[in-house]
Amino acid sequence: VLKLLQFEMSHFCEKARWTLDYKRIAYEKDTLLPGFHVPRVKRLTGQQSVPVLETPDEGYVFGSDRIAAYAERIGSGPALYPANDALRREALALEERFEAVGHHARRAMFGPLFEDRDFARRCMVGSAQGRQRSFYEKTFFATGRVITMVYALKPDRIAASTQATVEALDFVEQHLAGRDYLVGDRFTIADLTAASLLIPVSFPKAAQVPLPDDRPAPVEQWLARFADHPTVAWTHAMFERHRMLDVGRAE
Ligand SMILES: N[C@@H](CCC(=O)N[C@@H](CS)C(=O)NCC(=O)O)C(=O)O
């Protein structure tokens, strides 16, 4: 069975989970803790980011875009990529554009998130239990610093990424121009990617990315700032309509 190396709270991982579920592919999750994941992921893939999919025929497939393409090839379920050449190119271009947005949206949201280290730690540790949890909690003073370095959580970078995120929200609104979907007239990888990678702005309920309820003020303010943006409503709609779950999942 396929295995997904992942973080619980990661919009890139949620994109990968969504594509696998959408294509009705059974897989197991191997959940890693941010910071502690590096040696293992590096050893397996030569780079350090998750999601990584362990496959029987193609080894370790990493990058949510490549995982989506792999899922399309081996899965059943509706097509994620348009059959028409021009539409497929458009969908792929939007997928690529939103990869960059995903990095900006994360940094922009981690700004307010890391103002409250305890809350940030709880988000990162997620549902991990037992010794793994307590060890993570005890060492987060160091891991938290590594995370702020890896993601360049500096005021000027956070401000620039916030600006880029706002532009992405406006871009989606304009590109949709009142339609339901970004490319053609049905759900594609472009919608799935944009909706997933904007999770740090919208945290849709139907998204499998938990954000604890007792949010500190900076996080509440961050979410409130965008709550009325039409693109946020659109991401909620995409998840509600198309985020199928547990389809033959092997857990
Ligand atoms: N291009 C990658 C980006 C993945 C990515 O940024 N993953 C983050 C989690 S959201 C990660 O693993 N960060 C930790 C690290 O890079 O060490 C993809 O599409 O999968």
Q: Is 63 in the pocket of ligand 1 (CB under 6 A)?
A: yes
Q: What is the pLDDT of residues 188-216, one digit of tens each?
A: 999 999 999 999 999 999 999 989 999 99
Give 214 Cα–ligand 1 centroid separation in angstroms: 26
Given the structure tokens 């339901």, which residue do they identify?
180
Beta carbon of 8 within 6 Å of any ligand 1 atom: no
Residue nearest to atom 16 of ligand 1 (CA): 49
**Over the stretch 141-189, which tens digit does the pLDDT of each residue have?**
999 999 999 999 999 999 999 999 999 999 999 999 999 999 999 999 9
Mutate which of 5, 32, 49 to test ligand 1's pocket (most atoms within 8 Å of Cβ)? 49
Pocket test for ligand 1, best of 4, 5, 9, 12 (most atoms within 8 A of CB): 12
Question: Is the model's pTM score more than 0.85?
Answer: yes
Decide: 58 and 69 in contact? Cβ < 8 Å. Answer: no
Q: Which residue has the tokens 């547990």?
A: 246
Alpha-carbon gap, residue 170 to 175, rounded angstroms? 8
Q: Is the Cβ atom of 114 under 6 angstroms away from ligand 1?
A: no
For the segment 66-81, what is each residue's pLDDT rounded down to a tens digit?
999 999 999 998 999 9
* φ and ψ at residue 61, rounded to 5 degrees: -95, 120
* Ligand 1 atom closest to the CA of 50, numbered from 1: 12
Q: Which two tokens stand for residue 7?
A: 């973080």
Asked whether 126 and 31 are in contact (CB, 8 A), the reply is yes
The number of the ligand 1 atom at minimal distance from the alpha carbon of 103 is: 6
- Is residue 36 a contact partner of residue 136, using CB atoms and an 8 Å limit? yes
Please tell me the distance between residue 71's alpha carbon and the centre of ligand 1 in angstroms: 18
For helices 155-176 and 85-113, give the axis angle rounded to 10 degrees.
140
**With contact defined as beta carbons under 8 Å apart, do 144 and 117 qualify?**
yes
Coil, strand or helix: which one is 78? coil
Residue 13, amino acid: C
CB 11 within 8 A of CB 209: yes
The Cα–Cα gap between 218 and 119 comes to 11
Could you tell me the strand order of the sheet in which 59-62 lies?
Answer: 27-31, 2-6, 52-55, 59-62
Atom number in ligand 1 closest to CA 67: 20
